[in-house]
Amino acid sequence: MMNRDDRVRTAILRHALRARPINREPLAAETRLTPKDVEEALGALHEVGAIYLRDGAVVAAYPFSFVPTLHRVIIAGVTTYANCAVDALAVPPMVDESAQVSSACGHCGVPVTVAMRGGRVVEAQPAAPVIFHPDRDCCAPGPAVLTRCPHIQFFCDHDHAARWRDTHRELRGALLELADAAAFAGRHFDAAIRAVREAGDDHSRRSRAADRGGGL
Ligand SMILES: [Zn+2]
């Protein structure tokens, strides 16, 4: 059984995955918690950096953004947003369906698209994009969504990443090949990915049970 904060976080991630807005009351109903518990969980999740609240609204629940960003993930026709390039690569492993990550080169702005199935990269356009990932101590202190995420982006290739780095010499970090970035994203968000997938299984089991007219 997940604890209060994990239940609320997983419910938020599942809403984000389907591009549904976050409202307190449905969240309380879904998690079988009181609105007060949900409110406390949101505060606690913000404190540990699992979500980012602004004026009481959930703006980000890593890897998702609830405000549009450059990094889109399209699953079964539904568009969701991620906080950065690595976050975007952590969304496809949450589902069984094919997913398309859609972003743009941080140097020249041409579209970068990555077709994925689970954690596996199926195809990319351009063929071998790279991802800049800043070091831990690269950026000003503060919420990742404001400090680190803006720098974590796709580039067409090593050449375009190098040109961008020439003009951002203050940023320390590494360039990741696409497959390595996808693997890193899967590891970094492993717990969230598994929680979302397991919650999905529970939901389909419950609806199958309801179809048979049986209870839980
Ligand atoms: Zn480019």
79 lies in the same domain as 172: yes
57 lies in the same domain as 75: no
Phi and psi angles of residue 124, each rounded to the nearest 5 degrees, phi first: -135, 155
How close is the Cα of 3 to the center of ligand 1, in Å?
Answer: 44
Q: Record the pTM.
A: 0.91
56 lies in the same domain as 113: no
| Structural domain total, the chain | 2
Tokens, residue 109: 């702005």
37 lies in the same domain as 126: no
How close is the Cα of 126 to the center of ligand 1, in Å?
Answer: 9
How close is the Cα of 175 to the center of ligand 1, in Å?
Answer: 14
How close is the Cα of 112 to the center of ligand 1, in Å?
Answer: 9
76 lies in the same domain as 178: yes
Length of the chain (residues): 216
* pLDDT tens digit sequence for 140-188: 788 888 888 899 999 999 999 999 999 998 899 999 999 999 999 999 9
Asked if residue 133 is part of any domain, the answer here is yes
How close is the Cα of 165 to the center of ligand 1, in Å?
Answer: 12
* pLDDT tens digit sequence for 30-77: 999 999 999 999 999 999 999 999 999 999 999 999 999 999 999 999
146 lies in the same domain as 81: yes
36 lies in the same domain as 86: no
Q: Which residue range forms the structural domain that includes residue 100?
A: 71-188
